[in-house]
A and B are shown apart, each in its own frame.
Chain A
Amino acid sequence: METLRERLLDWMRVGSGFLSFDEAARAVFQHQFERNAPYRAYARSLGKTPATVGTWQQIPAVPTDAFKLCDFPLSCFPTENALKVFRTSGTTRDVRGEHWMSDLSLYETSVLEGWQHAGLPVPTNPWFLSPSPQEAPDSSLVHMLATLQRHHASGTSGRWMIDGEGRIDLSLLANEDRPVTLFATAVALLRCMESGKSLPLPPGSWIFETGGYKGLKVTLEPEAFRDQVSEAFAVPRDKLLNEYGMTELSSPFYAWSNEDRHRGSPWTRIRVIDPETGLKCETGQIGYLEIVDLANLDSVAAIRTQDLAIARDERSFTLLGRDPRALPRGCSRRSDDLLSRS
């Protein structure tokens, strides 16, 4: 009998296996309710069980911070059987969120099929302003980039331009004369520009950019940042692709810089919640983004992010990021709730 994982893979690849998103979502929720004890306990405390959840909208979302509670791993299998664990970024003193994987087939299929669904150009000549998979084995982002390289440019090597000490070296890229795809975090791009190492890329190149500005002394508006990147790397503004993803998810969302919304794959859904009431926002209302990602079979499909957004439809949203008013102010100490991704 075909396992749920196999059915999901078929569904993601060829669209067969489930009649509707709701059918798949209910199956994934039942799977996770039965196997993921911490999630089951939480869902029960909210009165949510497979018997009471009829649609994806009713699946309870866990806050990303719950992935940091290492006594309660949000995993559908014993973590000692994990093939991989992805961890959120942070220093050795920080508590890092952990996303356990028993198998990478759904994660990698989601990356590759999602790329195709989004209609993105095939990155046949990729360069990575990132540490290599060997240097960052627990980074979900680096694994995603390596998956894309393996699939689309398997003959390439030596393309990882940040070493284990965080040093940036673009000397090989400087010799490139064919159009490239430069994959980078926003932080790495900024560091590159600030240190004077940015260089004009060959005509026809484009840039994949992801992540926020955590850890930087300088806070830049995304628009100003992209203007700088466009100029520093000689890449047209509309050839900057922003990826929205996080360690706790398996599926990315994409928006070109001239688009007003990030779009997800058919196996994802989004909803925007008013945090004051916990209710779903009205059309056009700003709230907190929740994502249902059915490729997250081994953990929890429904994730509550700490980003503000406006829902555009069931699979797309306008990302507003963190509320600037959330910056600590006044003389009172308050909790810090930064979203992180490695």
Chain B
Amino acid sequence: MNPTDLRIRALAACNDLLEPWIGPFDEAALRSLIACQLGSGDVLDEWIPRGDTRCRAFPLSPLLHIVSGNTPHAAFQSVVRGLLVGSHNRVKLPSSGLPAFESWIEEIPAGLADLIEVRRDLPDHWLKSSGAVVFGNQATLETFRDLLPRPIPLIEHGPKLSIAVIFQPDEVAAGLVATDILSHDQLGCLSVQTVYVDGTPEQVRSFSARLARALEMARPAHPRGVVSLSDSGAISNARELARFRAANGEDVALWESEGNTGWTVVYDHEPRLRPGPLHGFVTVHPLPSAALLRDCLGPEVRHLSTAAIHPFQDALADRLDALEIPRICPLGRAQKPPLFWHHDGRPPLADLVVWKDRSP
């Protein structure tokens, strides 16, 4: 059994702990991922004939992971990929920690434990890694662009947002999109912040009311994380602006949780995409025609990560081509990307290796 097989076996042994964060998988799926990404399941361990040469993939190692604290998904996915290719992984956690990830590290099999170091600080020598994967906001990305010596490969996952597009605005859709909004308190790049509904303004308003009921029902199953005063303030401010516009005759309507900022739905006829204050706040708009889609949604489109659509059909997904969204998925699955997904359109493993050739 070669080293890659051993790591695959060890990862598969953690299946129960990892599945909530990286999706369902088994040994065969991990082997298949390597083969799909690198062209051969053996290329990490031996020289493989490729055309007129032989080649082998070597992991970027040590590999530095800078992970954010909003959801643990990114940490799990990034580190599992690093383990899969055989990197030595240096994981810088947020200063507040990442409990689910740290729990896994405590139970990780010995064969993998040797390949992971986890810290909440950032020792200087970690900056001399062979590659880095950085998750975070713009300031974090800029900080690491400055800190990391060139030319080490830097894989950036900056701030993104996601949307839902609903072509069939029924009760099922309301329930599914509520999950996409509330999971992880809407703090991830895959969290749905805005919903576009294919229908007349009346139908879109009606769906907004339905969504409000769905959020109210779903909220208890999705407890909020730490909501700072400023988080509450931003929600409260956005609510009051919506109330102000609605009171002044704009085609805007507001549904909100009582006595707290637990969930909010704003129907707004104006379709421009804008990031919201998160923590259960969503805006609902009529879906512009395909020809006008990109212009109507505006410049924020370039930050889109995922569109969850309902029903999930290729013909409907094709209607969103103008938005150039890296990932389109079924409604209710926005925050559960599969093992093989291309985060921000990047290859999950191919970015983490360098190639060496032995040519005749």
Residues on A facing B (Cβ under 8 Å):
37-38, 41-42, 44-46, 62-63, 65-66, 69, 71-72, 274-278, 286-288, 304, 306, 308, 322-323, 325-335, 337
Contact = CB atoms under 8 A, between A and B. Distances in A.
A325 B234 CA distance: 12
A330 B136 contact: yes
Interface stretch (B115-123, B147-155, B215-223, B271-279): B271-279
Contact of A335 (B74, B191, B274): B274
Contacts of B103: none
Interface string B294-315: 0000001001000000000000
Contacts of A326: 228, 230-231, 233-234
B229 A62 contact: no
Contacts of B260: 276-277
Interface string B257-276: 00111000000000000111
B136 A333 contact: no
Interface stretch (B4-12, B124-132, B242-250, B318-326): B242-250
A304 B240 contact: yes
A330 B259 CA distance: 27
A329 B136 contact: yes
B333 interface: no
Contacts of B159: 328, 330-333
B307 to A, nearest CB: 15
26 contacts: A37-B248, A41-B244, A42-B244, A44-B247, A69-B241, A275-B232, A275-B235, A275-B236, A276-B232, A276-B261, A288-B229, A306-B233, A306-B237, A328-B137, A328-B159, A330-B70, A330-B135, A331-B135, A331-B137, A331-B158, A331-B160, A332-B70, A332-B187, A333-B189, A334-B276, A337-B237
Most buried by A among B137, B160, B227, B261: B137
B339 interface: no
Most buried by A among B135, B230, B231: B230
Given A275-B235, A304-B237, 7 more contacts: A275-B229, A275-B261, A288-B233, A308-B233, A326-B233, A328-B137, A331-B160
A46 B71 CA distance: 37
A335 B230 contact: no
Contacts of B138: 328
B161 interface: yes
Interface size class of B (residues with CB under 8 A): 35 or more
Nearest to B262: A276
Nearest to A337: B234
B157 interface: yes
Contacts of B139: 327-328
9 tightest A-B contacts by CB?
A330-B70, A326-B230, A323-B230, A45-B247, A333-B275, A275-B233, A275-B232, A41-B247, A276-B232
Interface string B175-196: 0000000000011110101000
B247 A335 contact: no
B157 A331 contact: yes
B68 interface: yes
Nearest to B275: A333
A42 B160 contact: no
Contacts of B227: 276
B77 to A, nearest CB: 12
A286 to B, nearest CB: 6
B281 to A, nearest CB: 9
B69 interface: yes
Contacts of B100: none
B74 A331 contact: yes
A72 B188 CA distance: 35
B276 to A, nearest CB: 6
A76 to B, nearest CB: 15
Contacts of A41: 244, 247-249
A94 to B, nearest CB: 14
Most buried by A among B241, B260, B274: B241
A196 B68 CA distance: 38
B230 A331 contact: no
Contact of B241 (A66, A308, A323, A330): A66
B55 interface: no
Most buried by B among A46, A332, A334: A332
B238 interface: yes
B277 A334 contact: yes
A308 B234 contact: no
Contacts of A306: 233, 237
B34 to A, nearest CB: 26
A277 B157 CA distance: 35
Given A275-B233, A331-B189, A335-B234, A62 B240 contact: yes
Contacts of A42: 243-244, 247-248
